[in-house]
Chain A
Amino acid sequence: MKPARFSWSTRSGRALAFQAGFLLVLTVAGWALWRNTAHNLAVRQIRSGFAFLDQRAGFDIGEGPMPYTPDASYLRAFAAGLGNTLRVSLLGILLATPLGALVGLGRLSRNVLVRSLSTGWVEVLRNVPLVIQLFAWYLVFTQLLPDPTGPLVLAPHVYLSKGGLQLPMPVWTGGPALERPEITAFGVSGGISLTPEFLALLVGLATTTSASIAEIVRSGVLAVAKGQTEAALALGLPHRLVIRRVVLPQALRVIVPPLTSQFLNLTKNSSLAVAIGFPDVVSIANTAINQNGQALECILLIMSVYLSINLATAALMAWYNRRVALVER
């Protein structure tokens, strides 16, 4: 390779000059923004840095998978928020996937009633903003349900009321046992308790995402050539095996990559929790910003949380995708 010599008359020379200029502009702009920020922070007497994470948060978090008190640090508060984000996202994915598959197959049904119901489900959920759906679900769960003292009984020891959903909880007391919630004079106590905020977010996320998943499943199944099914049937395979051994493996190849981005969408959409007061990581950041004004740090924190979740999910799904992908020589 010849030693590179700068010249305006070559493409590479102009490219080099352009990039140098671009870098210069970016650096100057970045420096100006940094100076503005430093000045503005000083004027407003806002501290900077992540030292605040060790300080006492002082606000309570209604629910979460881990014990938390207002005396805990901001770091613990963010961890509790992250726990809530992951909890609602995972459950949402677990609910949305089978529901979406069902609706997607329903859109391909030969029965016109099933077909139009599934189409209606998809169209309504995809064309109404998620925020509206969440607000509506939240009000349904907090206003239209009966009071906790006289809850709806969905199944033995499964209660639904304005106070949320109470389920039996498996516990270990010398052996496997169930702690069953009971109706008392003050409402339902014991067992697993899910708050109305959590339920509204979960139902909203799961139904909306199920509509998108349904479209993916439908196009995946349609992508399998018709001859494949016909050939398998001609070989005398029963219908069940045709679906399981011929259609599904080929459809999955088409379905898995866009399904991954729907899982990520659901996780990102869980940030709308802040609209209905569910303490996910964004709501915690919102509260923290309102308390100490350290917006830069808090926003960086939530952005890095979502980017890490993205990377982790992408890696996991890439591993799964390699398993279902076509093995080529």
Chain B
Amino acid sequence: MATAPDLSGAGRDAREPPPPRGGPLAWVRRNLFSSWANAAATAVVGLALAWLLPRAVAWLFLRAVYAPDYDACRALDYRAACWGFVAEKHRLILFGRYPFAEQWRPLAATALFVAALALSAHPRAWRRWLAPAWLPVVAAFFLLLRGGVLGLAPVDPSAWGGLPLTIVLTALVVAASIPLGIVLALGRRSRMPLVRGLSTLYIELVRGVPLITVLFVASFLFPLLLPAGLRLDALARVAVGMTFFQAAYMAEVVRGGLQALPRGQGEAAEALGLSWWKVQRRVILPQALVLVIPSFVNSLLSTFLDTSLVTVVSIYDLTGSLRLALGDPQWRNFFLEGYLFVGAIYFASCLAMSRYSHWLERHLGRWARA
């Protein structure tokens, strides 16, 4: 079919409309006053903010008491924040019931851990030596907390608390649940009906119940299930329980990566005569796992948030040790400041992790190929 010659010029490449004129005035017009409705929204929200913001800033910072001075806080009569509570109790909140004189140890351990985490965050650090390089870090972390060597006084895990405990729990659970999740995900995609059925049943059962029931299982049932001679301390029980819980979610994350791979990858590897294990280990998993690294970071984030639940079974993580601090009848009225402080710690950590996960998602392809 012959096409008529286009004489109008309309068939040429459609061009983007010219960008709006720059400058702050254009930005204001576009974002605040583009229509009557928009201007009305600006007026309403702007007025509310103009009323609220100065009051919030004054309450939070300008008129607040920062010194651990109970009488000054009392005199405020809640008209401003009393950060004196945080100043007075920050060591209890951050380190729980860890012996006061030894609290430099959890501080050093946490700093070491966070520094190692930051150093291994960039994909350029993802080399073969990374896993062995973490071993001394983990060993130093536990040695510092536990003590008993190098002249450090031994501290029982039941006395651990606060932020280091939250970090230990998060790290243990995530590190242990990834391999377990990989096994479950492979099981769910297995051709063997028994393996597939049981993996699916486990994943769906665990995802169907709240974490708190799993914590109940850990603290009430594990002691009944274990042989009489064997005893796990409360922290280990909770870590094991949370690992079993998180593994079901990890399995779904890994399954997402497995499903994203084209079938041809596995089929080609099998056609080459590789065994099932070799196919998974050499061909499927390396590709699937790289795809889901950002989701792993999100699982890390949700585990970090979930650890706050252990306070229900009497383990004094960051949330729990804040409640210890609020047990002081003199200061308990300043709970809002305490929760703002601890909430800010969680918020800042999670915001950093989710930004990191977004960043990875955008840039991962480049490094994965290199």
Contact = CB atoms under 8 A, between A and B. Distances in A.
A22 B210 contact: no
A140 B336 contact: yes
Contact of A129 (B46, B220, B308, B336): B308
B41 A299 contact: no
Interface of A: 15, 18-19, 22-23, 26, 33, 36-37, 39-41, 43, 109-114, 117, 123-124, 126-133, 135-136, 139-140, 143-144, 268-269, 271-272, 274-275, 282, 285-286, 289, 295-296, 299, 302-303, 306-307, 310
A128 B309 contact: no
B333 A275 contact: no
Interface in B53-81: 78
B42 A111 contact: yes
B287 interface: no
Contacts of A136: 335-336, 339, 343
Contacts of A127: 305, 346-347, 350-351, 354
B32 A112 contact: yes
Nearest to B40: A111
Contacts of A269: 210
Given A140-B336, A268-B209, A135 B41 contact: no
Given A127-B346, A132-B346, A285 B216 contact: yes
Interface string B315-341: 000010001000000000101100100
B125 interface: no
A124 B220 contact: no
Given A113-B41, A114-B41, A127-B346, A306 B224 contact: no
A40 B209 contact: no
A271 B210 contact: yes
A139 B335 contact: yes
Given A18-B192, A43-B228, A271 B335 contact: no
Contacts, number: 150
Given A129-B305, A129-B346, A271-B212, A113 B49 contact: yes
A130 to B, nearest CB: 8
A131 B225 contact: no
B45 A111 contact: yes
B227 interface: yes
A282 B224 contact: no
Given A129-B346, A275-B311, 11 more contacts: A19-B193, A22-B194, A36-B226, A112-B31, A129-B319, A130-B305, A131-B319, A136-B343, A295-B220, A295-B221, A303-B213
B195 A22 contact: yes
A182 to B, nearest CB: 29
A299 B195 contact: no
B197 to A, nearest CB: 10
Given A110-B34, A272-B212, A303-B213, A131 B309 contact: yes
Contacts of A18: 192, 195
In this complex, the member of B216, B226, B228, B312 whose beta carbon has the largest number of chain A beta carbons within 10 angstroms is B216
A296 B198 CA distance: 21
B220 A275 contact: no
Interface in B190-226: 191-195, 198, 205, 208-213, 216-217, 220-221, 223-226
Chain B's interface: helix, strand, loop or mixed, by majority? Answer: helix
A275 B307 CA distance: 14
A90 B79 CA distance: 37
A268 B210 contact: yes
Contacts of A299: 213, 216-217, 220-221
A275 B312 contact: yes
A306 B335 contact: no
Contacts of B46: 113
Instruction: Give chain B's interface residue range (CB within 8 Å of chain A).
Output: 35 or more
> Which 3 A/B pairs are nearest by Cβ-Cβ distance?
A295-B220, A127-B350, A129-B308
B265 interface: no
29 contacts: A15-B192, A19-B192, A33-B225, A36-B226, A37-B224, A40-B226, A41-B224, A112-B32, A128-B305, A128-B346, A128-B347, A128-B350, A129-B306, A129-B308, A131-B319, A136-B339, A136-B343, A144-B336, A268-B209, A271-B210, A272-B210, A272-B312, A275-B311, A295-B221, A299-B220, A302-B209, A303-B205, A306-B210, A306-B213
Contacts of B198: 26
Contacts of A113: 32, 41-42, 45-46, 49
A135 B194 CA distance: 44
B225 to A, nearest CB: 5
Given A113-B32, A128-B343, A23 B194 contact: yes
A303 B209 contact: yes
A143 B332 CA distance: 10
A296 B221 contact: yes
Contacts of A22: 194-195
Contacts of B350: 126-128
A214 B112 CA distance: 37
A37 B211 CA distance: 23
A85 to B, nearest CB: 10
Contacts of A37: 224-225
Contacts of A112: 31-32
Contacts of B192: 15, 18-19
B158 interface: no
B32 A111 contact: yes
A271 B213 contact: yes
B342 interface: yes
B208 A295 contact: no
A306 B49 contact: no
In this complex, the member of A140, A269, A295 whose beta carbon has the largest number of chain B beta carbons within 10 angstroms is A295
A307 B193 CA distance: 23
A15 B190 CA distance: 10
B213 A302 contact: yes
B348 to A, nearest CB: 9
A282 B225 contact: no
Contacts of A114: 41, 45
A307 B209 contact: yes
A232 B231 CA distance: 68
Nearest to A36: B227
B342 A132 contact: yes
Given A123-B351, A132-B308, A295-B224, A110 B38 contact: yes
